[in-house]
Structure 1
Amino acid sequence: MPSTIRSGTRPARRVDLGRPFRWLWASAVASNAGDGITRTLLPLLVVAHHPDPAAVAGLTAVNMLPWLLFALPAGVLVDRTDRRLIVLGSNLVRAAALLGAALVLADDRPLVLLYVLAFVLGIAETLADTAAPAILPRLVQERHLERANGRLSAAQIVLNETVGPPVAGLLMGLTAAVALATGGVLYAVAALLLLGLAPLARTARTARETEPGEPPGGVLRDIRTGLRFVLGHRTLRLTLAASALYGVVFSATFSMLVLLSDRTLGLDETGYGLLLAAGSLGAVTGSRLAPWAADRLPTLRLARWSLVASGAAYAALGLISHPVLAALALAVNGVFMMGWNIPVMSLRQRLTPEHLQGRVMSVSRLCAWGGMPVGATLGGLLAEALSVPAVFLVCGSVLAVGALLLLAPLRETPAPPADQPTAQ
């Protein structure tokens, strides 16, 4: 795999990413629809029978706990086995869990069972979200990674954040069993669609046997190998540090957005929903613009200045009191968030050898999401000490300055044209 950083290429406007990618994308659409429904549904189920803020917060903590416990071992598993089968199996587990819950939790909903369901779904998500990005470099040409990641990101944003929540609410208006079963069916469809990759994707184990790398060892040894590779590669190390900073800033600001909407902007629940929709619309637009920009700008320059611009948009929210301007700032932030996420994800996929893709992706997820509980806590402390708008101003400024300091040492190096398709 090339270890150089692309300095900008211009593929054709209309790119056929191939039949293997279409199967993966279709599966991702179904699973993201399931994600959008279940992530809204589970808190609603808790609130309906256990209307206690601590119970709702506990659900979120239990659902995210597998990322802290299993992210790094999941990366080892992804590098040792067929990544397609990991995603397929994870979707089947989620389907079975939700369909079983539709029967068990139809009437009585003990809190402990809801927590168990959230934990099982969290484990499956940890495995699936680590394996899926590691599949992509085997399915599309290297120069088209931004475009492929952009299409996957657009589907995730639309279905997770825009379509899923209202659909979950409508389904809950029928019965909880119908809502749970719908999520289960969507995950089952996602698993079935991955069968289309069976004759096209080689297993990670086969790749591991043909790639130069470390000798087989235990799980801890494999984890250390992945961490050593990341920490020893300056571009990966610094971009992951920037991702960790972004995760803290995102969670700190998002946790306070509802208070900014209520206290500063004077919006009701509908207005808050429209604010979120503005951010999602910007992110979808960014997922379309980022591949186009990556064709014309050096990867690191695009990522660095997108992160700076995202920080500026957060800071602007701390200075704005008009709802329309706040919605515009959130939309702009969404555009530049994708201008960071998509090029950096593609860059990591390019720079990582095949036999380490899973472990690097697991470290990436851990850095980005592991700091989110810290960020939410810091956001609350800052709001108490200063004010809610100050959270956005301070965090946005820290993100912009941090992006410049962390990414300034990185330089683009030209890469040879990637005209050959990857192995499929």
Structure 2
Amino acid sequence: MTSDMRLSLRHNRPFRALWTSSVGESLADDVSRSVLPLVAASTLGAGSSAIGLLQALSMAAFLLLGIPAGAVVERARIRRVMLSTTGVRAVAVTTIPIAAFCGVLSMWQLFCAVAVIGVADVFFSAASSAALPRHVAAPDLGQAYSSLRATQAATSIAGPGIGSVIIRMSSPAVAVFSASAGYLLSALALSRYPDDQPFPTESPERQRRSLWRDAADGLSYAARHRVLRPLFLGNAFWNSASAMANAVLVVFALQEAGLRAGDFALVTVCEAAAAFAGATLATSLSRALGIGRAKTVAMTANTLVLAAYPVVPSLFGSSFLWIAALGSLSTFAAMIYSLSAAGTVAQVTPPGLHARVMSCARFAALGPMPVASIVGGTVGDIAGLSAALMLAAVLSAMSLAVFMTNPQRRWKAMPTAEELISAGYLPREPS
């Protein structure tokens, strides 16, 4: 990253508003992600199937709406979309501790709340991705996406940390209140974002085209692209492995490894610290090892971690320390994997397709997660929690196998725009 890039982004007011909003939104998401399964398991006594369904509903909207969301937000006012979806999520998450205080909290309410939050999250994510090309110059786009991703990793320390402290002082349900505060911070930051016009359409014909045809253009571009196609498929396997493991890991830790809810909350704090370390070191490691080798090492480490979880109860020493160490290593590897060449999608996609291709990226990465969560929870109930974790390890290994077909495996550094055009990875703009 050059000093000119840092300067241009630092003095870019719309980008600063998006960055600050990302801090609050990531904080709220991380609290919800770490605390809600604990609410289900410890407060409501949910098993692995119920938690798997909870995880699935939180991501189901990306499977159902992920692709058309990009085409929708390209025709809307970005600020209005982001503010409204932030407000919806704040209201939905606040109903959970209120219901707990009144003694009426149920799994059905958790299911409904996470489903509503998931729908709002789809459109917020699509809008935030579409916002960057409107206000960030093309040479800075890759760094802008990387900066937002690194910030999300850094704030992931605060979310589980806040949740852990509140859980130890009161209960998991009370900890959910801190997510509402995160969404409030996001909304305040977005109030400083300019109320811009919808993205300029390319022609009167584009204005008459259906949303599905617009969305299909983005999907077609990604499916035919030599880098994006294996990248998206590999991400699908990677995130499916994570979703399957997360669907059973809470129950595995509490029931088979003997951890308490507060102990598992501390595990998420350790994982968040590892995420921050990974975000801090990702650039240096990818520069030292090369992008391809860094991603390969990260995927190998993640596969070994998932395969090691089932033997934790039989290992010497504290199960808490083993689970914390394995979770931290997996999270560190995830940050290296995701931040090595984090701006690839933006760099190899023409500006007019950014929102739609980014929506396809989220669909590929997050869409399979609901199915994987349900499968993981079901396998955990029928064949055992260890079997579900081993199946997650297999999916992680498949992400590594797919990456071996990606031209990125040979990249030592991110190619320049001219190199991408010469290699056929980016269409040359008409003069």
2-structure distance, mates of 1:113, 1:380: 19
Give, in angstroms, the shift of residue 354 of structure 1.
Answer: 2.2
Q: TM-score, length-normalised on structure 2?
A: 0.75
2:401 maps to a residue whose letter is L
Give, in angstroms, the shift of residue 165 of structure 1.
Answer: 5.6
The aligned counterpart of 1:306 is 298
| Number of equivalenced pairs | 402
Give, in angstroms, the shift of residue 48 of structure 1.
Answer: 10
Asked whether the 8 Å contact 1:35–1:164 carries over to 2, the reply is: no
Matches within 5 A, 1:11-410: 11=2, 15-16=6-7, 17-19=9-11, 20=13, 21-37=15-31, 61-95=56-90, 107=102, 109=104, 116-137=112-133, 138-139=135-136, 141-142=140-141, 144-145=143-144, 147-164=146-163, 166-167=165-166, 183-184=179-180, 186-198=182-194, 203=197, 205-206=199-200, 208-209=201-202, 216-262=208-254, 265-296=257-288, 298-320=290-312, 321-322=315-316, 323=319, 324-343=321-340, 345-380=342-377, 383=380, 388-410=385-407
2-structure distance, mates of 1:407, 1:51: 42
Change (3 A) 1:388 1:342: same
The aligned counterpart of 1:421 is none
1-structure distance, mates of 2:400, 2:205: 32
3-state DSSP class of the match of 1:414?
coil
Which shows bigger deviation, 252-261 or 125-134?
252-261
2-structure distance, mates of 1:243, 1:75: 19
Query: Any idea what the Cα deviations from partners look like across 1:323-352, whole Å, max 9, x if unmatched?
Result: 334432221211110111223542112222
Asked whether the 8 Å contact 1:37–1:165 carries over to 2, the reply is: no
Give, in angstroms, the shift of residue 24 of structure 1.
Answer: 1.8
2-structure distance, mates of 1:325, 1:179: 27
1:331 maps to a residue whose letter is S
Counting aligned pairs with the same residue, the percent is 22
2:117 maps to a residue whose letter is L
3-state DSSP class of the match of 1:198?
coil
2:275 maps to a residue whose letter is A
Give, in angstroms, the shift of residue 59 of structure 1.
Answer: 5.5
Change (3 A) 1:156 1:350: farther
3-state DSSP class of the match of 1:197?
coil
2:308 maps to a residue whose letter is A
Query: Any idea what the Cα deviations from partners look like across 1:60-99, whole Å, max 9, x if unmatched?
Result: 5544433333222212112223434322232233345567
Give, in angstroms, the shift of residue 244 of structure 1.
Answer: 0.8
Query: Any idea what the Cα deviations from partners look like across 1:259-309, whole Å, max 9, x if unmatched?
Result: 543566444444433333332221221111123334555444433432233
Change (3 A) 1:55 1:235: closer
3-state DSSP class of the match of 2:343?
helix
2:416 maps to a residue whose letter is A
Asked whether the 8 Å contact 2:157–2:269 carries over to 1, the reply is: no
3-state DSSP class of the match of 1:196?
coil
3-state DSSP class of the match of 1:248?
helix
Give, in angstroms, the shift of residue 12 of structure 1.
Answer: 5.3
Asked whether the 8 Å contact 1:146–1:294 carries over to 2, the reply is: no
Unaligned runs of 5+ in 1: 1-9, 419-424
Which shows bigger deviation, 408-417 or 76-85?
408-417
2-structure distance, mates of 1:270, 1:185: 21
Change (3 A) 1:400 1:198: same
Asked whether the 8 Å contact 2:299–2:397 carries over to 1, the reply is: yes
User: What is the root-mean-square deviation in Å for CA atoms of aligned residues?
Assistant: 4.1
Asked whether the 8 Å contact 2:304–2:393 carries over to 1, the reply is: yes
Change (3 A) 1:150 1:45: closer
Q: TM-score, length-normalised on structure 1?
A: 0.76
